[in-house]
């Protein structure tokens, strides 16, 4: 009886990735980025990567294809961000049927498919793999980095920059491998220079991404998510005549970041959320049902709840 074991060292990890047709050679630098970028509020990045590797190697697992795509995206980003050779998957397993919907990469091309350049990953301990890797990056002039973006990356991003803060909304998966998005906000420390080292990161739950999409499509006026993580992070999205107002912070009084987002970036953000929701909600977009669902179910329930609160508070 064979017992699964995590890779004992970096060389074995590379060998097992190549066995899955992920053509990459991770180095200690890109390994550190891999684990750092995969970290969420509730789980260390190393654990997420090892779990995805285990599922991808198990051909009988129903999550094997999703785990394989997750690994491919994460390794690709880490290698690019480290300035190393770009990996690729040599042979993608044929899907049962082509999706009639639009290619998700169109959304990524609307934005720069890159992660923040000023990232300073923290080392993570692990047996024979103390140096860990992850995600994507081609450089952002606004981030003070140089480099060329890669249009074909699978990680979708939309970025917005303001006078006091900057925002990166990025496709992600939950610890249960459910498609979602994460909001990253940083304060400006000088002209076009943002403090990404101390950024605020909020990953939306499966329910929250639906409510966020309803607001971005104008089906509900506002939503606020609270109590994320040990430091009680919050995120507020409010539609206004000129675009979207994003407000986020935590329990510390000086942590609040406020950023108005214009029409163009708001539209791109809405498209990103729909791309993730289409995968999370059983491909409903392929049947033209996703937007009506957001409108008639989420939007209606959120609007009625808002009216109920206003009435309870003595409003109209």
Angle among Cα 267, 268, 272 to the nearest 5 degrees reads 120
Mean pLDDT lowest among 83-87, 96-100, 216-220? 96-100
* Local confidence band at 169 (pLDDT 50, 70, 90 cut-offs): very high
Contact 170, 156 (CB under 8 A): yes
What is the DSSP code string of 81-113? HTT-PPPEES-PPPPSS--SS--THHHHHHS--
SS3 131: coil
Angle among Cα 69, 70, 73 to the nearest 5 degrees reads 85
Give the pLDDT of residue 95. 44
Residue 188: beta bridge partners?
Answer: 194
Helices and strands, number each (H, E), in the chain: 9, 11
* Fold that domain 156-316 belongs to in CATH: Transcriptional Co-activator pc4; Chain A (2.30.31)
Domain ranges of the chain: 12-95+129-140, 156-316
Range from 100-104, 131-135, 153-157, 286-290 that averages highest in pLDDT? 153-157
Tens of pLDDT, residues 97-139: 444 433 333 333 333 343 444 443 333 333 333 333 233 333 3
Range from 35-49, 71-85, 197-211 that averages highest in pLDDT? 197-211
């Amino acid at each position: 009886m064979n017992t699964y074991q995590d890779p004992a060292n970096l060389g074995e990890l590379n060998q097992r990735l190549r066995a899955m047709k992920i053509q990459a050679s991770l180095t200690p630098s890109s390994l550190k980025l891999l684990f750092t970028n995969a970290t969420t509020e509730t789980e260390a990045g190393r654990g997420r990567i090892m779990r995805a590797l285990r599922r991808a190697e198990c051909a009988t697992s129903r999550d094997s294809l999703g785990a394989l795509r997750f690994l491919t995206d994460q390794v690709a980003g880490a290698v690019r961000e480290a300035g190393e050779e770009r990996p690729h998957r040599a042979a993608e397993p044929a899907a049962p049927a082509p999706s009639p919907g639009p290619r998700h990469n169109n959304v990524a091309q609307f934005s720069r498919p890159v992660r923040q350049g000023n990232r300073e990953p923290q080392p993570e301990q692990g047996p024979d793999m103390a140096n860990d890797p992850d995600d994507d990056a081609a450089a952002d002039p606004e981030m003070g980095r140089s480099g060329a973006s890669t249009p074909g990356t699978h990680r979708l991003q939309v970025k917005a920059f303001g006078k006091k803060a900057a925002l990166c909304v990025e496709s992600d998966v939950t610890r249960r491998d459910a498609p979602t998005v994460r909001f990253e906000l940083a304060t400006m420390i000088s002209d076009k220079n943002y403090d990404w080292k101390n950024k605020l990161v909020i990953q939306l739950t499966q329910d929250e991404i639906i409510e966020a999409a309803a607001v971005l499509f104008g089906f509900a006026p506002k939503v606020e998510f609270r109590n994320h993580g040990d430091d009680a992070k919050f995120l507020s999205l409010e539609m206004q005549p000129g675009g979207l107002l994003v407000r986020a912070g935590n329990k510390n009084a000086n942590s609040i970041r406020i950023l108005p987002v214009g029409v163009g970036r708001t539209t791109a953000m809405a498209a990103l959320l729909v791309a993730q929701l289409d995968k999370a909600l059983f491909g409903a977009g392929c049947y033209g049902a996703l937007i009506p669902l957001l409108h008639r179910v989420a939007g209606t329930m959120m609007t009625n709840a808002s009216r109920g609160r206003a009435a309870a508070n003595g409003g109209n």
